[in-house]
């Protein structure tokens, strides 16, 4: 065992094995132990890492004439030594089988859904028509916020949200309502910094009023189940829900002054 550990070939093999284990299992599973989130390394990146390690090992062993000779020894022994002929035979069968399998695996027909990218927050139109009335979105404020009727509006928004929006967007506004699993893409969460906190209230009003059917071309290819709420709620009710969303999620809308 000791002998082997000093042998450059087995040292190289050991480094390769340890590196593989580290990339394959270390990267995804060690950081979470320290409370840092992580994810498995994709296959292509894995291949790149392993090639880098392999090249490193080869540079190291070929750096020294004597080490290079010793490094080649076990391989040469496998090729020529009579007492290695079982291993030799096995290698001659296993290696081509492995190559054949990899070839088959890359050629066999696979089933997968077409991939698609979509813009979650596509640019809004300059104006929309809600119940026959044109509204210019640029600079538009929540009238209920400016009219000083916030408290009353939040109460109305509370009722409307839980009657209409909760089945998909969830009791906790986390996008995990009891119908959420039936839709693809999943309903958006409304809490957290990446959601309505990045948007103006007029944008939120537009998304609620026009829903999935009102998404512009760049928001597609879409499959959104979000209804066009202007068919069900009045503009004032939509503003009330908007106000409520920010209040309940503890977020502030982006304001026009920021631009």
Q: Which residues bind other proteins (CB under 8 A)?
A: 76-77, 79-83, 85-86, 88-93, 95-97, 99-101, 103-104, 107-109, 111-116, 118, 158-159, 161-164, 166-168, 170-172, 174, 176-179, 181-184, 212-213, 220-221, 223, 225, 227, 231-232, 248
Nearer to other proteins, 11 or 248 (CB): 248
**Taking the CB of residue 191, how many other CB atoms lie within 10 A of it?**
19
What is the closest distance, in whole angstroms, from the C-beta atom of residue 135 to other proteins in the complex?
22
What is the closest distance, in whole angstroms, from the C-beta atom of residue 75 to other proteins in the complex?
9
What is the closest distance, in whole angstroms, from the C-beta atom of residue 209 to other proteins in the complex?
14
Contacts of 144 (CB under 8 A, 6+ apart): 150, 153, 236, 239, 240, 243
Q: Which two tokens stand for residue 65?
A: 């004439």
Contacts of 139 (CB under 8 A, 6+ apart): 202, 256
What b/e readout covers 92-127, taking b as 16+ CB neighbours within 10 angstroms? eeeeeeeeeeeeeeeeeeeeeeeeeeeeeeeebeee
What is the closest distance, in whole angstroms, from the C-beta atom of residue 16 to other proteins in the complex?
21
Q: Which two tokens stand for residue 142?
A: 């929540």
What is the closest distance, in whole angstroms, from the C-beta atom of residue 103 to other proteins in the complex?
4
β-partners of residue 218 are none
Nearer to other proteins, 19 or 187 (CB): 187
């Amino acid at each position: 065992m000791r002998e082997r550990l000093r042998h450059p070939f087995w040292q190289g093999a050991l480094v390769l094995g340890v590196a593989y284990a580290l990339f394959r299992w270390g990267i995804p599973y060690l950081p979470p132990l320290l409370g840092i989130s992580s994810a498995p390394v994709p296959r292509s990146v894995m291949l790149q890492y392993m090639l880098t390690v392999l090249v490193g090992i080869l540079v190291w062993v070929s750096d020294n004439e004597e080490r290079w000779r010793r490094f080649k020894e076990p391989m040469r022994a496998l090729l020529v030594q009579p007492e290695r002929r079982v291993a030799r035979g096995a290698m001659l069968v296993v290696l081509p089988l492995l190559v054949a399998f990899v070839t088959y695996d890359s050629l066999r027909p696979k089933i997968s859904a077409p991939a698609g990218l979509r813009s979650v927050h596509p640019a809004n139109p300059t104006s929309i028509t809600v119940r026959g009335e044109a509204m210019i979105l640029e600079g538009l404020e929540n009238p209920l916020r400016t009219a000083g009727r916030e408290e009353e509006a939040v109460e109305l928004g509370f009722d409307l949200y839980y009657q209409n929006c909760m089945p998909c967007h969830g009791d906790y506004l986390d996008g995990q309502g009891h119908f959420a699993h039936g839709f693809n893409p999943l309903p958006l969460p409304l809490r957290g910094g990446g959601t309505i906190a990045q948007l103006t209230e007029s944008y939120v009003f537009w998304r609620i009023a026009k829903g999935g059917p009102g998404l512009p071309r760049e928001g597609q290819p879409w499959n959104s189940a979000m209804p066009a709420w202007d068919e069900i709620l009045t503009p004032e009710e939509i503003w009330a829900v908007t106000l409520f969303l920010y209040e309940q999620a503890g977020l502030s809308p982006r304001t026009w002054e920021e631009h």
